[in-house]
Amino acid sequence: MLLFMAFLMVIVWGSAFTLVSIGVKYISPLWLVTYRLIIGAIIVIIYVKFKGLNLPNIRDKRWIWYFAMGLIGMVIPFFLLSTGQVIIDSGLTAIMVGTMPLITVILAHFFTNEKLSITKIIGFIFGFIGIVILFLPSDFSIEITENWFSQLIIIIAAFCYAVTTIIAKRAPDTPATIGACMMLICAATACLFVALLTGFPSSMPPLLGILTAFGLGVGSTAFASILLLYIIDQTGPSTVAKINYFVPLASVIFGVIILDEILSIRIFIAFVIILIGMFISQIKKSKAL
C-alpha cells in the first residue's frame, strides 16, 4: 500500500513541473499559486466533510504548526518555482529541486531520529547525479549561470520543501487528511491576502490557464498534500526524499506525452543510476555518523 502511494506521489508531483511551465504563460506566478491553493483547499474541505471529520478548534496549537507548513511548504516554494520557471526551463528546475533530498537527509540527521550514514549519503549523491545526467543541457557552459537569481530562488524553494518534511515529522500527531486540510486552508488564506494586495487580474485567464490551475489544485496540491503527510507519518522525511528523486523522471514522461518532447536514452541511464542510489541508501550495515 505504501509503495503504491509513493508511486502516486511521484505521478502528481511529476506533473507539476509540466503544468507550472504551461500555467505561467497565461497566469502570473502569484495568482497561479493562489488559484491552485484555493482549489486544493476547497477540494480537501469537501472531502473532510464527506468523511464526517471535524477540524480542530481554532485555539488548537496544531493550527500554528500547519500554518507554518502551509507557508513554508506551499506558499513560498510554489511562488518561487512559478517565478523561476518564467525564465528557467523545467529541466534545469528539476536539477535545482533535486537538491531537496540531500538537504532533507542532512536536516533529518539533526532534527529527527533518522541519522545519516555513509551508505545513505552515497545513495542520495547517486540519485542527484542521476537527475543531473537527465537534465543537464548538452551545450552546458558558464553562460548557464546568467539567470543565477532565478536558479537561486528555485534552490530556496527546494530548501523550503526539505524544511517542511522535518516540521511535518515533528508536528503533533494529526490524521493526514485533517493535517492537509489545515495546511491548505492556512496556505490559501495567506496567499490570497498577498495576491489581493497586488490587485485583481486585469482579465480572465484563457481556458488552458484555468485548466492548468485546476490540475495543479486537484493533483499536485490537494491530493499530494494528503499523500505527503501520510507517508511522512508512516515512514519519515528520508522516504519522501527518496521519492523526490523519481519525480523528475515522471516530469520528463509527462513532457513527452503532453509537450511532445523527445524520449532520450539519458532517461533510461538516469533511471538506472537513481535506482542504484536508492539501493545503496537502503544498506543498513554502515554506522550512523
pLDDT in tens, 169-207: 999 999 999 999 999 999 999 999 999 998 888 888 899
Question: Which residues, 6+ apart, have CB-to-CB distance to 107 below 8 Å?
Answer: 162, 163, 166, 237
CA–CA dist 233, 2 (Å, integer): 11
Residue 279 pLDDT > 90, yes or no? no
Alpha-carbon dihedral 174, 176, 177, 183, rounded to 10 degrees = 80
The pLDDT > 70 percentage for the chain reads 89
The rounded mean pLDDT for the chain is 85
Query: What is the reported pLDDT for 262?
Result: 67
Q: Does the pLDDT value for residue 52 go beyond 80? A: yes
Q: What is the pTM of this model?
A: 0.83
Task: Quote the CA–CA distance of 199 and 220 in Å, as a whole number.
Answer: 26
In whole angstroms, give the CA distance from residue 112 to residue 275.
25
Question: Exposed, middle or buried: residue 197 (CB in 10 Å: 0-12, 13-18, 19+)?
Answer: exposed
40 compared with 14, residue with greater pLDDT: 40
What span, in angstroms and rounded, lies between the C-alpha atoms of 271 and 147?
28
pLDDT of residue 16: 86
C-alpha to C-alpha distance for 151 and 162, rounded to whole angstroms: 17
